[in-house]
Amino acid sequence: MFKLGIAFANAAVILGGCAPHLHSLRQDDSPDLVSGECVHEGAPHLTLATRKRRYVAEGFEIHRHTDLAELQRRYKGTDPKHWDRIFAGHDRSHEVYSAEPIPRAQDGAELSCRLTWGAGKPPQGICQDQSGKEYQVRFD
């Protein structure tokens, strides 16, 4: 009986999403970037690598946005129960997240990144190096 309780507790932790959301860089969008990963829960970090450098950003801020005025216009008159769930914070599927990390390489080189993603979706955006070269970044 005790083992069954432990199994249910482990399943709850796994299904509850306590593990950080790790996303791997999609290779098809920016061939100059050879690898990368992004974690946006817990202690956020972003790692991107070119053939010459490895860039790392840790502990950057993540902002949550919800356009309540637009959602109220869309749902309050047509689906009031849905609007009530959104307004009470129970329906987070309409939230959009953003971050502007600045990954740094050991030699001091930096990338300025702007990332956005919706609830349940992977981050995507653009990073720019100090010379102005842009890298499209999309994660799985």
Query: Is residue 65 predicted with pLDDT exceeding 60?
Result: yes
In-domain check, residue 7: no
pTM of the model: 0.74
Exposed / middle / buried, residue 43 (Cβ in 10 Å: 0-12, 13-18, 19+)? exposed
Higher pLDDT among residues 23 and 9, named by residue: 23
Domain carrying residue 35: 21-138
In-domain check, residue 25: yes
71-90 pLDDT per residue, tens: 778 888 888 887 778 777 77
Angle between helices 80-87 and 68-75 (to 10 degrees): 160
Domain count, the chain: 1
pLDDT of residue 57: 98
32 phi/psi in degrees, rounded to 5: -70, -20
In-domain check, residue 134: yes
104-130 pLDDT per residue, tens: 999 999 999 999 999 889 999 999 999
In-domain check, residue 63: yes
